[in-house]
Chains A and B, each alone.
Chain A
Amino acid sequence: EADIYQTPRYLVIGTGKKITLECSQTMGHDKMYWYQQDPGMELHLIHYSYGVNSTEKGDLSSESTVSRIRTEHFPLTLESARPSHTSQYLCASRTGGADQPQHFGDGTRLSIL
């Protein structure tokens, strides 16, 4: 089993709040990713990181930001949550080349009222 953890699992919060979704992995993987999964199940990459102090935006425009100060930690922050941010957020990590699989956490289901 992959060791990648996301907290909280579920979050219901009001509009305008600042939110941080946590993602940690204990495998020492260098590459980490955030995906947004919409209710229709499709997954879209919103952020990724090659390693410490490296962050890049993904394909889907997102108002969230990320940081990578430590190898094992890749938190995602929303400065002011809006109902349009309601979604499931999945964190993943990988080591090695493109032939290696990404390992996923269980996700955070976020609802903004």
Chain B
Amino acid sequence: GNSVTQMEGPVTLSEEAFLTINCTYTATGYPSLFWYVQYPGEGLQLLLKATKADDKGSNKGFEATYRKETTSFHLEKGSVQVSDSAVYFCALSELGGAQKLVFGQGTRLTINP
């Protein structure tokens, strides 16, 4: 079946550091890929998406590129802020059936001032 694997957390960085959160997937066909962010006490918010190979999604300084050859969708940001502290989920959208989201296990990010 389809699956998503994220790098193990938690991740702690200093403000203005470079961020990478690795995400790889296993899927039938070419699913759409998403990054969601969850702030404390809230639901998930869409951060960015990519729907086909070589697409780059970007939002709020975050970027991720859909790499078909490595089945990856790594999240990057050049300079993180304290306000980026949250849990980040990589997900793929299945093509058939319920077209449900299959999530990675989540990565808790803490940014220290």
- Tally of A interface residues using CB under 8 Å: 25
Residues in B with CB closer than 8 Å to A104 are 36, 43-45
Contact A90 B93 (CB under 8 A): no
Distance A99 CA – B36 CA, assembled complex (angstroms): 14
Contact residues of A between 30 and 63, Cβ < 8 Å to B: 31, 33, 40-43, 45, 48, 56, 58-59
- Tally of B interface residues using CB under 8 Å: 25
Q: Per-position contact with B for A77-113: 1 when CB-CB < 8 Å, else 0?
A: 0000000000000101010011101111111000000
* A45/B46 contact (C-beta < 8 A), A98-B31, A101-B34 known: no
Distance A101 CA – B36 CA, assembled complex (angstroms): 10
* B93 and chain A: residue at smallest CB distance: A98
Distance A103 CA – B45 CA, assembled complex (angstroms): 7
Q: Per-position contact with A for B22-40: 1 when CB-CB < 8 Å, else 0?
A: 0000000001101010000
Contact B103 A107 (CB under 8 A): no
24 A-B pairs within 8 Å (CB atoms) are namely A31-B99, A33-B100, A33-B101, A41-B87, A41-B106, A41-B108, A42-B105, A42-B106, A43-B101, A43-B103, A45-B100, A45-B101, A48-B100, A90-B44, A94-B99, A98-B31, A98-B94, A98-B95, A99-B49, A101-B46, A101-B49, A104-B44, A106-B41, A106-B42
